[in-house]
Amino acid sequence: METSTSRITTPGLQPMARFKTEQSSQRCEQHGDYTAITYMGHTSGCPVCIKQQQEREAAEAHAKWQVELRQRRVRELLGRAAIPPRFADKTLDNFVSHAEGPAKALAVAKDFAANFAECQKTGQSLIFCGGVGAGKTHLAVGVCHEVIALDRVAVFSSVIGAVRSIKETYRKGSELTEADAIKNLVDPDLLVLDEVGVQFGSETEKMYLFEVINGRYQGLKPTIVISNLAKEPLTEYLGERVIDRLREGGGRMVVFDWPSYRRQA
pLDDT for 39 equals: 84
Phi and psi at residue 194, in whole multiples of 5°? -100, 160
75 versus 157: the higher-pLDDT residue is 157
First-to-last alpha carbon distance for the chain, in angstroms, is: 101
Lowest-confidence segment of 74-83, 87-96, 218-227 by average pLDDT: 74-83
Q: How many other C-beta atoms are found inside a 10 Å radius of the C-beta of residue 182?
A: 19
pLDDT band for 160, please (50, 70, 90 cuts).
Answer: confident
- For residues 4 and 48, give the distance between their C-alpha atoms in angstroms, rounded to a whole number: 44
217 versus 203: the higher-pLDDT residue is 217
47-62: pLDDT as tens digits: 899 999 999 999 888 8
Helix (H) / strand (E) element for 80: namely helix 47-81
For the chain, the domains span 10-43, 82-264
pLDDT for 37 equals: 86
pLDDT for 16 equals: 47
Contact (CB, 8 A) for 153 and 188: yes
The residue count of the chain comes to 265
CATH superfamily of 82-264: P-loop containing nucleotide triphosphate hydrolases (3.40.50.300)
Query: Whole-model pTM above 0.75?
Result: no
pLDDT for 71 equals: 59
